[in-house]
Amino acid sequence: MDWIAIASGFGVGAIVGITGVGGGSLMTPLLIGVFKLNPAVAIGTDLWFAAITKSGGALAHHRHGQVDRRITLLLLAGSLPASLATIAWMHWSGITRSGMAALTWALGVALLLTAVTVAYRKAWHEVGLRLERWLPERRKVIATVCSGIVLGVLVSLSSIGAGAIGATLILLLYPRLPAQRLVGTDIAHAVPLTLVAGIGHASLGTVDWQLLVSLLIGSLPGIWIGAQLTKAFPERLVRTLLCVALVTAGLKVMA
């Protein structure tokens, strides 16, 4: 039993419970920095971590009618083919040194984008309302599928994007969507996307299954405890510390 991995899973789970930010933006840098996994294995392991930990949340949101199926299907129409194409490219390239550099670069960019989405979370709603006049229904459908394509590539290359970045894109395109349905839709889209990308990484042999089990053992109680502690921490302080951590990790990965 890897107690360090269990403790790490607990810590990430607690932060996810408090902040609501997906574990990918926290777990992948941890796997690279602490457990010294190469980027490909860290990303593959985290994709399975995300798919499993988010499945319960997706079912709960679906049960309460908090998932917009139309938006979810439009996102998946773009993200799943994009993920499969990205995995196919990874098979073709054989994760060479240049391919590993691409994964590392994508991870750094995804971390920085996540920091921006978290830092300016409230501003995106205003931007979305202003975009409405330029996005009639037909354009909105195309934009949603294109957003899915971006997320499919980003998640497959970095394991990051299905949470905070995905929610921001949905908010920009559908600013009048109720908050609970936005979160539910984002999670419902994230589960099949991370699962497909995770299966792709498993076919590449870039998943550390033993470490994954230890991380999950710690994360599940961590998420529950973190959710109970949400009100004990000022939102602005938590968001600021999280953004600093994301920017630091992103710059370190890209250095």
pTM (predicted TM-score): 0.85
Helix, strand, or coil (residue 119):
helix
Domain carrying residue 200: 3-254
Measured CA to CA, the distance from residue 203 to residue 207 in angstroms comes to: 9
pLDDT tens, residue order, the chain (255 aa): 588 899 988 888 777 766 656 566 778 888 888 888 988 899 999 999 988 888 877 887 788 888 999 999 999 999 999 999 999 988 887 765 556 667 777 778 888 887 787 777 778 878 888 888 888 888 899 999 999 999 999 899 888 878 778 888 998 899 988 877 888 898 899 999 999 999 999 999 999 999 999 999 988 888 778 767 766 667 667 667 667 767 776 676 666
Give the N- to C-terminal CA distance of the chain in Å, as an integer. 33
Query: What total number of domains does the chain contain?
Result: 1
Asked whether the beta carbons of 153 and 200 are under 8 A apart, the reply is no
Amino acid identity, position 249 = A
Measured CA to CA, the distance from residue 215 to residue 108 in angstroms comes to: 22
CB-facing half-sphere around the CA of 42: CA atoms within 13 A: 24
Spatial neighbors of 157 by CB under 8 A, at least 6 apart, are: 43, 86, 102, 103, 106, 107, 110
Q: Which two tokens stand for residue 160?
A: 């990051």
Measured CA to CA, the distance from residue 46 to residue 12 in angstroms comes to: 12
Amino acid identity, position 3 = W
